[in-house]
Amino acid sequence: MLEIRPTCEHCNKKLPNDSDEAMICSYECTFCKNCVDTFLHNVCPNCGGGFEKRPVRPTNCLTGNCVEKHPVGTRTVYKPVDKDKFKQVLYTFKDIEPNKR
How confident is the model over 4-33, as a mean pLDDT? Answer: 98
pLDDT at 8: 98
Give pLDDT, residue 59.
93
Which whole number is the average pLDDT over 4-28?
Answer: 98
CB neighbours of 79 closer than 8 A, spacing ≥ 6?
A: 9, 10
* Mean pLDDT, rounded, for 46-55: 97
Helix (H) or strand (E) holding 91: helix 83-93
d(CA 35, CA 101): 20
* Contact partners, residue 38, CB within 8 Å, separation at least 6: none
Q: What is the pTM of this model?
A: 0.93
pLDDT tens-digit readout, 78-89 = 999 999 999 999
Confidence of residue 93 (pLDDT cuts 50, 70, 90): very high
Report the percentage of the chain scoring pLDDT > 70.
100
Question: Which one, of 45, 47, 65, 44, lies nearest residue 56 by Cα?
Answer: 65
